[in-house]
Structure 1
């Protein structure tokens, strides 16, 4: 493990330059640049808000703003965007860079760090735009914002652990990538982003809490909508799940790292 970390540190300039190159290449001929990264999630929020706002608004009586439901969705989408972006990039990172891995000798984990760096920049840009939208709507939460880095950290570890684990498996079993496209769609709708946990029948609440993203998304909503600290009881399970998934992912990667290049 120590050798891996030292190797990653030695290639830190490669990691940073790769992240910069990714954004320069993506927006080389774009007129609005980085805004394309936030237009899709904002459009998604707008669609849900227009269709479901009148139905769901009554479920948020404690929020004293007529835009409670759009803010609720934005808070959940912010958490989901970070999670899904890191997971999806990590899932395909070795396959997408197969030619590079065959031609150059460098730490394979640096590709995962590059994917995380790109996803984090996307997330920060989206979050900044989201706060602009909040200000426009007259909603400026600030009392519990200092808890946001904790939630971002848990989300990052969870997404990296699951993404790296499945990314290694995807090298050997290519069906993993196809299966996860379907799983992510179900996972989104099994997470209280568009709807509230309160509308789910009580007998299913325990099952919903087995989804590690439930506690994380609720934490984002508590901070950004209700302007209060997250429920730490609901964050304990996602945090443990995230650490365990990252540990298993690193263990699998360590054992399979020599064979991956040959299979690719």
Structure 2
């Protein structure tokens, strides 16, 4: 563990420069460049808002008279969910995608998931800025609790990176995981109150979806950006502790498997 942390610190400039290269290479031949990473989630949220807006806007607490509330509700949930899924999906294949690089260059393999995580942070920051801009254009200004978003981002990153590194390591040896995870994420999306409000879920299922950690994280984003209410710190603290445990397990798993990864690839 100490060796890995030391390697991360020693290669910190390599990680930072690689994040810049990764960001640029994804949009090198695109006229709109990095705007696409903002356009995609905004368009998705707009589609849901058009399809479900009239149906669900009146069910938002204290927001029944605000026609824009549901759109903001969607954007807040999208901000959390996109960060979570991007880290997991990119960590899932990060070693496989960079197999040739791992064979040719000598550098700590742990740098790769950190690079994709750093890239996801940049993407999420731009999306957050776009959401605030959209809110301003619609005439809505989030309250002071929006400043909790960086803390929520850290909790989301910890959870996603812990899960992603475990899955990414296992996926090198068991490729079925790479097929199962996208399906699991799609199911998780619909078990998370992003496009619907929790009160429309039957009471028998409502207690079940609360075991989904993204239920609480997405709800916290929505509280911070839309409702301006106090966050439920109890569940968030539990998720943070779970995230730390997952990170520890993922680092131990990676430490044991890192020497075999290149051989398998």
Question: What residue in structure 1 maps to residue 247 of structure 2?
Answer: 246
| 1:156 Cα offset (Å) | 0.2
| 8 Å Cα contact 1:56-1:195 kept in structure 2 | yes
Comparing 4-13 with 22-31, greater Cα deviation is found at 22-31
Q: Provide Cα deviations, 1:145-164, integer angstroms capped at 9, x if missing partner.
A: 22212111110000000000
In the aligned structure 2, how far is the partner of 1:80 from the partner of 1:13? 29
In the aligned structure 2, how far is the partner of 1:204 from the partner of 1:120? 33
> Are 1:219 and 2:220 an aligned pair?
yes
| 8 Å Cα contact 1:213-1:238 kept in structure 2 | no
RMSD value, Cα: 1.2
In the aligned structure 2, how far is the partner of 1:236 from the partner of 1:120? 21
| 1:237 Cα offset (Å) | 3.1
Question: What residue in structure 1 maps to residue 16 of structure 2?
Answer: 16
Question: What residue in structure 2 maps to residue 45 of structure 1?
Answer: 45
| 1:43 Cα offset (Å) | 0.7
In the aligned structure 2, how far is the partner of 1:117 from the partner of 1:140? 28
In the aligned structure 1, how far is the partner of 2:6 from the partner of 2:244? 21
* Pairing of 1:174-189 with structure 2 (within 5 A): 174-189=175-190
In structure 1, stretches of 5+ residues that fail to align are none
| 8 Å Cα contact 1:170-1:177 kept in structure 2 | yes
Question: What residue in structure 1 maps to residue 108 of structure 2?
Answer: 107
> Are 1:4 and 2:4 an aligned pair?
yes
SS of match in other structure, 1:144: helix
Question: What residue in structure 2 maps to residue 80 of structure 1?
Answer: 81
| 1:177 Cα offset (Å) | 0.6
* Pairing of 1:117-156 with structure 2 (within 5 A): 117-156=118-157
> Are 1:34 and 2:34 an aligned pair?
yes
Question: What residue in structure 2 maps to residue 230 of structure 1?
Answer: 231
Q: Provide Cα deviations, 1:163-219, integer angstroms capped at 9, x if missing partner.
A: 000000000001101111111111111101000111111222221111010000000
In the aligned structure 2, how far is the partner of 1:53 from the partner of 1:218? 18
Question: What residue in structure 2 maps to residue 55 of structure 1?
Answer: 55
Question: What residue in structure 1 maps to residue 70 of structure 2?
Answer: 69
| 1:61 Cα offset (Å) | 4.6
TM-score normalised by structure 1 residue count = 0.97
Comparing 242-251 with 102-111, greater Cα deviation is found at 242-251
| 8 Å Cα contact 1:74-1:130 kept in structure 2 | yes
Matched positions, count: 264
Question: What residue in structure 1 maps to residue 192 of structure 2?
Answer: 191
In the aligned structure 1, how far is the partner of 2:99 from the partner of 2:47? 38
